[in-house]
Amino acid sequence: MDRATLLKMLEVTPGLTLSKEAIHVAEKHRLSFYLGQPGQAMVISDVLQATLYDSFLSLVRREDGAVLSVLYEAIHGLAVRPPKPKEERRPGFA
């Protein structure tokens, strides 16, 4: 994938906001990047923030604060999962 395509995908995806070259993930949303080729993708999940540079992308994971630097060519896709809706409790046993 190239930088322009990824940037456009990030701009139009609900739950993400763009400020300059940084992408911020809305609270309780979960952003994942898929790296590699179709059928052989590795998932980088729970990304808190992504920063776009000229030739690579820097990802910060929510869970441990790990920073990963990835070439645009390695990115195959992305996914954003919105927060789960609150379910009303029903009487009885679960």
Mean pLDDT of the chain: 89
Q: In whole angstroms, what is the distance from residue 51 CA to residue 39 CA?
A: 26
pLDDT of 69 reads 96
Nearest one of 41, 15, 39 to 28, comparing CA atoms: 15
Nearest one of 73, 81, 74 to 14, comparing CA atoms: 81
Question: Tokens 């060519």 map to which residue?
Answer: 73
pLDDT digits (tens, 9 = 90+) for 29-66: 999 999 998 778 899 999 999 999 999 999 999 889 99
Tell me the whole-structure pTM to 2 decimals: 0.82
SS3 content of the chain, % helix, strand, coil (to 5): 15, 45, 40
Nearest one of 64, 61, 28 to 45, comparing CA atoms: 61
pLDDT digits (tens, 9 = 90+) for 14-35: 999 988 889 999 988 999 999 9
